[in-house]
């Protein structure tokens, strides 16, 4: 397999470098070698690589900034994705792409299933949905992995932010009325590798949209609690006292982009069709907190 990996410098992309390495020749492209903000340039760059598989982990992911620059977010998340899908359709390549819980409207209590009606609440979600729809329209062989609340031991993410703030502050409020599951980038990279492996043996393997996230769920406050409990259990000294982490509402913590209240994703389809076990959300979280606090115990 000749695998073209886009966004290899991001949280998921970095993990994909590891997980895809055993499956074939990986060509990793990132800024400035490819700029998805300029969709007209993308097909020419792809033609030089002639990949058999395209794995797209690149995206405009600044959710709040996207409200100010929806045009750039759309170019990266929708127009360039349409070009990638068109190239995959023309060459018969497989396209593996990542999408988001933010394509759903966040209503109700039950986990979303892949066929549920979409209804993004913010500009980022609208551009990601437009990308998903362009892929489906193109007719290319594709697997879209919709995920939520991604974190890793590198990059900008909630887990690293909470650990940093707990070392600096003596009080911290965290939103406790948005529900979902934190997803490790390493888990997503392993899922993508399994998808590629399956398609190598079975080119007519499962395709379409799949939710990829751990099982169970919590709120952002619940994630923060789990992160800090794990850090304390390892003897990490934090400025923040145990009772100084306090829950708050979304209304008390206004941000430029609206967030879905219900981001729970039903992962049955992924587990069933690809034979993948999605772990409880705490499993990877504990491992990453351990990694991040290595050597920090007192």
Ligand X SMILES: NC(=O)c1ccc[n+]([C@@H]2O[C@H](COP(=O)([O-])OP(=O)(O)OC[C@H]3O[C@@H](n4cnc5c(N)ncnc54)[C@H](OP(=O)(O)O)[C@@H]3O)[C@@H](O)[C@H]2O)c1
- Rule CB under 6 A: choose which of 24, 105, 119, 155 binds ligand X: 155
Q: Quick one: 151 or 282, whose CB is closer to ligand X?
A: 151
Query: Does residue 148 belong to the site contacting ligand X (CB under 6 A)?
Result: yes
Query: Does residue 153 belong to the site contacting ligand X (CB under 6 A)?
Result: no
- Rule CB under 6 A: choose which of 19, 100, 186, 293 binds ligand X: 100
Contact call for residues 188 and 17 (beta carbons, < 8 A):
no
- Is 151 marked active-site? no
CA 11 to chain centre: 8
Query: Does residue 57 belong to the site contacting ligand X (CB under 6 A)?
Result: yes
Q: Quick one: 98 or 230, whose CB is closer to ligand X?
A: 98
Q: Quick one: 77 or 225, whose CB is closer to ligand X?
A: 77
Query: Does residue 52 belong to the site contacting ligand X (CB under 6 A)?
Result: no
In 3D space, the residue among 187, 196, 182 whose CA is nearest the CA of residue 141 turns out to be: 196
For residue 58, the minimal CB distance to ligand X (Å) is: 4
For residue 128, the minimal CB distance to ligand X (Å) is: 6
Catalytic residue among 102, 104, 124, 151: 124
- Rule CB under 6 A: choose which of 16, 60, 138, 181 binds ligand X: 60
CA angle 269, 182, 162 (to 5 degrees): 175
- Rule CB under 6 A: choose which of 3, 4, 5, 10 binds ligand X: 10
Cα–Cα distance, 276 to 270 (Å, whole number): 7
**Residue 22 DSSP code:** T
Query: Does residue 165 belong to the site contacting ligand X (CB under 6 A)?
Result: no
- Which positions from 69 through 98 interact with ligand X, judged by CB under 6 A? 76, 98
Residue bearing tokens 């145990």 = 242
The residue count for binding ligand X (CB under 6 A) is: 27
Query: Does residue 39 belong to the site contacting ligand X (CB under 6 A)?
Result: no
SS3 content of the chain, % helix, strand, coil (to 5): 45, 20, 40
One DSSP character per residue, 226-270 reads HHHHHHHHTTB--SS-GGGEEEE-TTTS--SS---SB--B--HHH
Long-range contacts of residues 46-49, Cβ cutoff 8 Å, at least 24 apart: 46/4, 46/83, 46/84, 46/87, 47/87, 49/2, 49/4
- Which positions from 166 through 205 interact with ligand X, judged by CB under 6 A? 185
Q: Quick one: 219 or 236, whose CB is closer to ligand X?
A: 219
Query: Does residue 239 belong to the site contacting ligand X (CB under 6 A)?
Result: no
Question: H/E element holding 39?
Answer: none
Query: Does residue 147 belong to the site contacting ligand X (CB under 6 A)?
Result: yes
Burial of 66 (0-12, 13-18, 19+ CB in 10 A): buried
Query: Does residue 30 belong to the site contacting ligand X (CB under 6 A)?
Result: yes
Contact call for residues 223 and 149 (beta carbons, < 8 A):
yes
Q: Quick one: 150 or 240, whose CB is closer to ligand X?
A: 150
Contact call for residues 18 and 66 (beta carbons, < 8 A):
no
Q: Quick one: 240 or 265, whose CB is closer to ligand X?
A: 265
* Residues recognised as catalytic: 124
**Interacting residues toward ligand X by CB under 6 A:** 7, 9-13, 30-31, 34-37, 57-61, 76, 98, 100, 128, 147-150, 155, 185
């Amino acid at each position: 397999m000749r695998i073209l990996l886009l966004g290899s410098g991001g949280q998921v992309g970095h993990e994909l470098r590891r997980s895809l390495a055993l499956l074939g020749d990986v060509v990793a492209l990132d800024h400035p070698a490819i700029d998805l903000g300029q969709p007209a340039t993308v097909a020419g760059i792809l033609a030089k690589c002639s990949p058999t598989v395209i794995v797209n982990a690149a995206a405009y992911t600044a959710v709040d900034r996207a409200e100010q620059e929806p045009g750039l977010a759309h170019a990266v998340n929708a127009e360039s994705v349409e070009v990638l899908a068109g190239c995959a359709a023309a060459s018969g390549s497989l396209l593996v792409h990542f999408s988001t819980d933010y394509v759903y409207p966040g209503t109700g209590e039950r986990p979303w299933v892949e066929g549920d009606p979409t209804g993004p609440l913010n500009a980022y979600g609208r551009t990601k949905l437009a990308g998903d729809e362009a892929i489906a329209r193109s007719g290319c062989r594709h697997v879209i992995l919709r995920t939520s609340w991604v974190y890793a031991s590198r990059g900008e993410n909630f887990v690293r932010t909470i650990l940093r703030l707990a070392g600096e502050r003596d009080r911290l409020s965290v939103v406790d009325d948005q529900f979902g599951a934190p997803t490790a980038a390493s888990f997503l990279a392993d899922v993508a590798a399994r998808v590629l492996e399956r398609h190598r043996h079975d080119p007519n393997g499962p395709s379409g949209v799949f939710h990829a996230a751990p099982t169970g769920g919590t709120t952002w406050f619940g994630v923060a609690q789990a992160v800090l409990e794990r850090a304390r259990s390892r003897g990490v000294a934090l400025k923040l006292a145990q009772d100084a982490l306090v829950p708050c509402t979304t209304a008390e913590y206004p941000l430029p982009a609206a967030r879905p209240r219900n981001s729970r994703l039903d992962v049955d389809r992924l587990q069933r069709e690809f034979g993948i076990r999605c772990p409880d959300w705490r499993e990877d979280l504990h491992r990453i907190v351990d990694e991040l606090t290595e050597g920090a115990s007192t």
